[in-house]
Structure 1
Amino acid sequence: MPTIRVLQVEDSELDAELVLAELDADGIPHEARLVDDEAGYLAALNEFHPHIVLSDLSVPGFSGQRALELLRANDEDLPFIFVSATLGEEAAIKALRNGATDYILKQNPVRLASAVRRALVEADARKANRRAEADLIRAQRFESLAMLAGGLSHDLRNLLQPLLLAGDSLRDYQGDPRLMRLGNLVRDCGKRGLEMVHSMLSFARGARRAERVRVGTLMSAFGLLMQGSVPRSVVMDLAIDDPELAFEGNHTELQQCLLNLCLNAIQAMPDGGNLRIETSQQRLAEDFFLAEEEPCAGHYLRISVIDSGPGMDQAVLEHLFEPFFTTKEAGTGLGLVSCKRIVASHGGVMRVDSKPGDGTRFDLYIPLDELEADAAAPDDMQSLEGAAERVLVVVEEAGQLSLLSDMLDAYGYQAHASQSGTAALQWIEAGGLPDLVLLDADMNLFTGVRTLAALVDQGYRGGVVLLARPDTPPDLQELPPLDNLVLVDKPVETAALLRAVRKALDDTADCG
């Protein structure tokens, strides 16, 4: 049994020693503090942090009832046992009703030790139950938040889809600078909204989850998180080398890591300064890694947090990543340990460079997939144009259906719009099989998958582009194997959609 702290409210030192002798006789290790007035009692509660209070009922100028009342005003669980020679049956019942844990008569202290043991066990059980209840309530709240975020993301994606497509269409009016500027604005607003949806979903889910992280999305969402946390005396600058660069990771954990580093930097510059967060790509050789790190040469994303603060000396740097080490007056020192764990969970490493008077720089190295030769090449929109191929577009929402059809028409395809699966089947019966089918997976009455299954039953074997939410991919179990099915995340951008259409058509031609 660990040592317990016993606070005694007693005006007789002899009686107090007799009480502690009972604990000694039962082998209960303890540390005791004796008080006999209200001021000393309150001070002991705040400074001594007792595990249990043993109190006489009557103390000159003070009372056990008052001691119990003061304790229960702030702590419902701390055990409180009356140890008194004057406690009658009626007073004992009243004491228990007022929140006392037990009562012991001084003239019969035999069961004092067992009462103390039982009180401590019951207090621990109550605290554990409260923690479990709080964890359950917190889990239920997060579950509700995740459900709400999922529902909102679906609605927001539908709202953002027209912005992305309309923005791309307006940008094509190269002869009218005003329309091009308007197109850029509309498209940028749509992309910013989509990044906020991704950030909201990532936060709501909370759990460690591998996902495709785009650098631009990560840094834009982080910039929103930092709004309001950066004082006017600190100038924060975000410099993103390649916003479209993507890697496998977790938005929430990386944002937490960056938040810890930036808040530390801000606290290190109470009189103001410069804070810069920048990204770049680096190729690391095996000799870059430390002895305790597993060498893994390759292509890495480097995220740097650089401040112009006072810097750190070598003595501080040597202990920087030790648990509970901190240079702050109030702090746990766990922030950097957490950052290092997050980076390591992504397969990466951390570095720090700091000197007194020369600021501090933290570099996070996150491994990247090997880049394909054509992955970073800009889209040649002419190569994505159609040759009058017939595309059946099946989308329930009228605005999106119109925009998708108009966009395909503008790029040389013959788009045929159907607002439901039933209408699509009727169109096929009247007009024959199309060259490609583009469907929304989230239609209500006749889902995209069910519509596609019905089309296959009608003899359709061409290419398929299925628009789906990335957080809830469609169930394709009821479909036969399809060689030319391309899944595209919603909301879709013009270039991504045209690439998917071209791929599905080309794959179908190759199979034929």
Structure 2
Amino acid sequence: MNLLHILLLEDSLLDAELIQAHLTDSGIQCELVRVETRTDFLSAIAQHTFDLILADYSLPAFDGLSALEIAHTTCPDVPFIFVSATLGEELAIETLKRGATDYVLKQRLERLAPSVHRALREAKERTERQKAQAALEKLAAELEIQVKLAQQTAQRNANLQALTAALSEALTPVQAAEIGVQQGSTALNASASFIALLTDDNQTLEIVKAIGYPQSIVDPWLRFPLTASVPIADAIKLKQPIWLESREIWRQAYPHLASQYADSPYKAWAAIPLIVEGRAVGGIGLSFQEARTFSEEDCGFMLALARQCAQAIARARAYAAERKARAEAEAANRGKDEFLATLSHELRTPLNAVLGWTQLLRTRQLDPDKMARALETIDRNTRSLATLIEDILDVSRIMMGKLQLYAHSCDLVPVIEAAMEAVRPAAEAKTIQMNCSLDSSTGTVWGDPNRLQQVIWNLLSNAIKFTPNGGQVTVRLSRSQEELAGRSYAEIQVSDSGKGISPDFVPHVFDRFCQENSTSTRAYGGLGLGLAIVRYLVEMHQGIVEVSSPGEGLGATFTVRLPLWVTPKERPQSAVPITVGSSTQPNNPHALEGLQVLVVEDEADGRELIATLLKDCGAQVTAVESAMAALEFLSKSQVDLLISDIAMPDIDGYEFIRKLRALEVARRDYIPAVALTAYARESDRILALEAGFQVHLPKPVNPNKLITVLVELTGKGTPEQEIGNRELLNRELPDFR
């Protein structure tokens, strides 16, 4: 047995020695500390740890029962045995009731050793039982904790499953945010929560859903910059969660917000970024009314919540984008169907007139008035078809980004006047009065005269189409009174007294294929392309086009502003418009008198038309269907002029003219050549001139212009005619319209 430490409360030294002797004789090795007073007893207990307490029942200044009470308070697990000579049976039983381990009479000290052994054994067993009980209680507590954790995990898994199911049905980001904050707050016992999403510029956060917060807290933060020094913005920028488990942590991290949130009811916060494929789209914030340490499970759940919300928001956005794209595709398909129906109508209507009058001319003998009417109708409708095709080609070039400008310093006065002359017959047919006010001191612009004339022509044609008989169309040119971005602008206005434009349709006036009434009951023709082309061409010239209308039935005004290129110079107050074909008429039997002309055209009808036109003007014409036939003819014969198509089956017009020019070098001969082709782009004109043609004329060609060009090339016109013709060739006016 190890050395026992025993506290002995005994006032008799002799009795203490007897007790020591009995214990030693019994084989109990012990260190005995004897005390007599209360003070000494308390001091000994405080300073030492004892295995056993032996106490006399009655002492002069202290008593055993008081010592027993002190021992039970300070060291309840230490056995306490009374050793007394005055202890009767009743007192002995009373001591046992009060908690003594045993009692031994001094007269029978032989019982002391067994009592000590029994007390120590019982104390050891009691200690072991207590340890076992404590271990069991600890295990039970741990099991209870594990059960609670398992229940919490199961509940959170169930919450996540419910969240996933709910988010899968969210159709918009706002719906996804609402589900996220509501179910997240419930699962985490958060007092309040919100979701903020980045706007399209990725520089601003917008709260799309918030619950639990006073409105006074939410309102100042409905929209705020991503650069703001607040937890949610920092979490999004860092792509890392921010845990603020107490107000002290908050104050340390965001001291500049301390006063703002001094009266806040919240004591803990969490901010988690919403990340999709490595890109932050927003963040979720949660607030708690009690300070808390976020456990690993808490953090894991909040991260899972943020991940689920981010994916749901991304899905909702993708779904919204897909719906928008589908709606746009359906609208485009409807627009395409409407366009094709309109195109069919716009093609068939003039074709019906052309074919009908052509059939009448073939099968009946018409009087001169009806014949003139027939020819005028055929001419007008073929021009309409040509315009239609040109608009479609222009839109195709625009959509492919292949429309080019060939710009130089350009005076707008003759451009506008030429466009007015081109539409004057249509205006006269409806007795529409054409007014103009052109300030010749406006200045020049840097632009493509052909395309600018096309802009004015389209605006005038549009005005005439929507103006009733007897109405008015006015064109004005002036220097704009307003400067935009420090630049001066020329301002062109085309106003009419027509049907006007409804306010709802004004924003769509310049859209492609867009017409205010595209149904079968519409009163006006057209494909809805002209104004779209106008806007594109004006913007290519760095200009602006706008429309205004007081309302339906009150007319409309289109305003084009083009940047001025140079300071205005003094000009004559009026310019003489160029009138195509005014100097030479195709039915002049002497215009081409004596000229030998070779026509190369693979299409029989076109070949016959050109040959007939030239013969009517006095030319001697040879017409062949291929470039090979033309080269064979030219190897044996001389001609004064060549007119050739470009697209031909054996070798094209470019290769043909190159071969011809090579032969001419050897023969020291030269034949003026005109390319007459359906390839009507500016780039096609350049290719033709580079290949060796002198002039490029697009089909369909105005007979007046063709004869004028041939007269110019052969030098058969008067000097005045040649000057006008040169201007005509330089301008390439689309007079067939």
In the superposition, the TM-score normalised over structure 2's length comes to 0.38
Give the one of 185, 193, 198 matched to 2:390.
198
Q: Secondary structure at the match of 1:364?
A: strand
Q: In 2 relative to 1, CA 478–388 (structure 1 residues): closer, same or farther, beyond 3 Å? A: closer
> Is residue 282 from structure 1 mapped to residue 476 from structure 2 by the alignment?
yes
1:450 CA displacement: 1.4
What residue is the counterpart of 1:186 in the other structure?
378
Q: In 2 relative to 1, CA 277–132 (structure 1 residues): closer, same or farther, beyond 3 Å? A: farther
Q: In 2 relative to 1, CA 508–453 (structure 1 residues): closer, same or farther, beyond 3 Å? A: farther
Give the one of 440, 443, 446 matched to 2:645.
440
Residues 408 and 415 of structure 1 are in contact (CA less than 8 Å); yes or no, is this contact kept in structure 2? yes
1:344 CA displacement: 6.2
1:241 CA displacement: 3.9
Q: In 2 relative to 1, CA 429–219 (structure 1 residues): closer, same or farther, beyond 3 Å? A: closer
What do you get for the CA RMSD once the two structures are aligned? 6.4
Residues 239 and 276 of structure 1 are in contact (CA less than 8 Å); yes or no, is this contact kept in structure 2? yes
Residues 181 and 209 of structure 2 are in contact (CA less than 8 Å); yes or no, is this contact kept in structure 1? no
1:369-448 to structure 2, matched below 5 A, reads 373=576, 375-376=578-579, 379-381=582-584, 385-430=591-636, 432-448=637-653
Q: Secondary structure at the match of 1:487?
A: strand
> Is residue 7 from structure 1 mapped to residue 171 from structure 2 by the alignment?
no
> Is residue 470 from structure 1 mapped to residue 673 from structure 2 by the alignment?
no
Q: In 2 relative to 1, CA 253–135 (structure 1 residues): closer, same or farther, beyond 3 Å? A: farther
- Number of residue pairs the alignment of both structures matches: 369
1:295 CA displacement: 4.0
Q: Secondary structure at the match of 2:451?
A: strand
CA distance in 1, matches of 2:633, 2:379: 33
Identity %: 14
Q: Secondary structure at the match of 1:442?
A: coil
CA distance in 1, matches of 2:655, 2:310: 63
Q: In 2 relative to 1, CA 119–290 (structure 1 residues): closer, same or farther, beyond 3 Å? A: same
What residue is the counterpart of 1:303 in the other structure?
494
Residues 26 and 113 of structure 1 are in contact (CA less than 8 Å); yes or no, is this contact kept in structure 2? no
Letter in 2 for 1:485: Q
Residues 459 and 494 of structure 2 are in contact (CA less than 8 Å); yes or no, is this contact kept in structure 1? no
Q: Secondary structure at the match of 2:179?
A: strand
What residue is the counterpart of 2:271 in the other structure?
none
1:464 CA displacement: 0.6
Letter in 2 for 1:403: L
Q: Secondary structure at the match of 2:579?
A: coil
Q: In 2 relative to 1, CA 31–490 (structure 1 residues): closer, same or farther, beyond 3 Å? A: closer
1:400 CA displacement: 1.1
Give the one of 205, 209, 217 matched to 1:32.
209
1:420 CA displacement: 0.5
> Is residue 485 from structure 1 mapped to residue 485 from structure 2 by the alignment?
no
1:303 CA displacement: 1.7
Letter in 2 for 1:471: R
CA distance in 2, matches of 1:107, 1:502: 91
Q: In 2 relative to 1, CA 109–248 (structure 1 residues): closer, same or farther, beyond 3 Å? A: same
CA distance in 1, matches of 2:715, 2:675: 16
Residues 501 and 549 of structure 2 are in contact (CA less than 8 Å); yes or no, is this contact kept in structure 1? no
Residues 218 and 251 of structure 1 are in contact (CA less than 8 Å); yes or no, is this contact kept in structure 2? no
Give the one of 274, 298, 307 matched to 1:115.
307
Q: Secondary structure at the match of 1:391?
A: strand
Letter in 2 for 1:194: A
What residue is the counterpart of 1:230 in the other structure?
none
- Bigger shift: residues 119-128 or 23-32: 23-32
CA distance in 1, matches of 2:384, 2:373: 16
Give the one of 340, 344, 364 matched to 2:559.
364
- Bigger shift: residues 432-441 or 248-257: 248-257
Q: Deviations over 1:248-306 (max 9, x none)?
A: 249799979999x99xxx9xxxxxx989986444342x4x5235584456xx7532144
> Is residue 454 from structure 1 mapped to residue 659 from structure 2 by the alignment?
yes
> Is residue 248 from structure 1 mapped to residue 451 from structure 2 by the alignment?
yes
Letter in 2 for 1:470: A
Q: In 2 relative to 1, CA 7–211 (structure 1 residues): closer, same or farther, beyond 3 Å? A: same
1:442 CA displacement: 1.4
Q: Secondary structure at the match of 1:362?
A: strand
1:188 CA displacement: 1.5
What residue is the counterpart of 1:80 in the other structure?
none
1:478 CA displacement: 9.7
CA distance in 1, matches of 2:489, 2:197: 59
1:302-381 to structure 2, matched below 5 A, reads 302-306=493-497, 334=507, 345=539, 347=543, 359=554, 361-365=556-560, 373=576, 375-376=578-579, 379-381=582-584
CA distance in 1, matches of 2:689, 2:461: 44
CA distance in 2, matches of 1:276, 1:420: 51
1:414 CA displacement: 0.9
1:191 CA displacement: 0.8
Letter in 1 for 2:389: V
Residues 239 and 278 of structure 1 are in contact (CA less than 8 Å); yes or no, is this contact kept in structure 2? yes
CA distance in 2, matches of 1:253, 1:476: 25
Q: In 2 relative to 1, CA 310–119 (structure 1 residues): closer, same or farther, beyond 3 Å? A: closer
Residues 276 and 306 of structure 1 are in contact (CA less than 8 Å); yes or no, is this contact kept in structure 2? no
Q: Deviations over 1:50-99 (max 9, x none)?
A: xxxxxxxxxxxxxxxxxxxxxxxxxxxxxxxxxxxxxxxxxxxxxxxxxx
1:18 CA displacement: 3.5
1:163-178 to structure 2, matched below 5 A, reads 176-178=368-370
CA distance in 1, matches of 2:642, 2:374: 31
Letter in 2 for 1:501: L
Letter in 2 for 1:388: G
Q: Deviations over 1:295-318 (max 9, x none)?
A: 456xx753214468899xxxxxxx
Unaligned stretches of 5+ residues in structure 1: 35-104, 224-236, 267-272, 312-326
Residues 591 and 617 of structure 2 are in contact (CA less than 8 Å); yes or no, is this contact kept in structure 1? yes
1:183 CA displacement: 2.1
Q: Deviations over 1:372-413 (max 9, x none)?
A: 746136523358811211110000011111111111011011
Q: Secondary structure at the match of 2:599?
A: strand
* Structure with max Cα Rg: 2
CA distance in 2, matches of 1:363, 1:25: 45
1:109 CA displacement: 2.3
